[in-house]
Structure 1
Amino acid sequence: MLKAIYPGSFDPVTNGHLDIITRASKLVDCLVVGILENPNKKNSLFTVDERIEHLKLVTGELENVEVASFKGLLVDFAEKIDAKVVIRGLRAVTDFENEFQMALINRSLHNDIETFFISTSVNYLYLSSSTVKEVAMFGGNIKGMVPPEIEKIVLEKYRK
């Protein structure tokens, strides 16, 4: 059984994330969407538990997708859950430079883990969680940037 991890912060989950999740789930037997509990990110919009709930909500129809959180090194989490592949989405050349460096570091730490890069669909090249938050914070329309269920949740968060 081929198990993969798609790691990220998913704060909030975007349609770009969901696109990668859906496409990656067709390539592996089990895809674990791993939410990194990053102590360096102090200004998260949603808690880790909220992000887990959001991801479960939007991936519920994908039978081979699981959602989990982890702390520490990605390769340690991969080893713990017996995942052999890391999935990373790429939007631009700048993404590739950073992701390639991380893939090499992960490989040096754990030689049995491979990184697969999936290019983002053209519809989502511009999209990031940071962009969604900024648009929402200033009252802009985020329809089409996030799944409909998440749109309501993000907008409600900024109304408070």
Structure 2
Amino acid sequence: MELKVRAIHPDVVRTLLETDDAGRRPVVKVDEEGGSPLRCCLTKARPGERVALLSYAPLRRWAAETGVDPGAYDEVGPIFVHAEPCEGTREAGWPAAHTAHRMMRAYTAQGTIAGGEYLAKGEDPEVALKELFEDPGVAVVHVRAVEFGCFQFEVRRAN
């Protein structure tokens, strides 16, 4: 089974830089020390790079694209992106910048939670993802930070 890691698409980032998914303007700042986790390209900000902190509704965006209602699972949370649109992710597979422990939340094609998997630091993410996607009802997996619950990126079956 081939899986595809997906950062937030550059077209979506452009709209979020105008008005985020909570209806607000993003907060733009210089990341003096670097390290902000960028959801637009799945890297970390370099020292001195301008980033935008904004609200993002990952399941709402996926549901709109697939024509389902996210219902009560629709949530909005904080993310960082480049302050100016970038080209998006340049690597395939699990991003090198994402080595910390993660929580993977699986959703069905109807937009309901189908389960989850904790990924400890150093564990092979491919094994956990394949286990989640062995369930034919799983349509998308959201990878999240354990500490804050923030959305990192999504994984889908490759078409």
Which TM-score applies when normalising by structure 2?
0.29
Tell me which protein shows more helix as a share of its residues: 1
Higher relative contact order (CA 8 A, sep 6+): 1
Tell me which protein shows more strand as a share of its residues: 2
Which TM-score applies when normalising by structure 1?
0.29
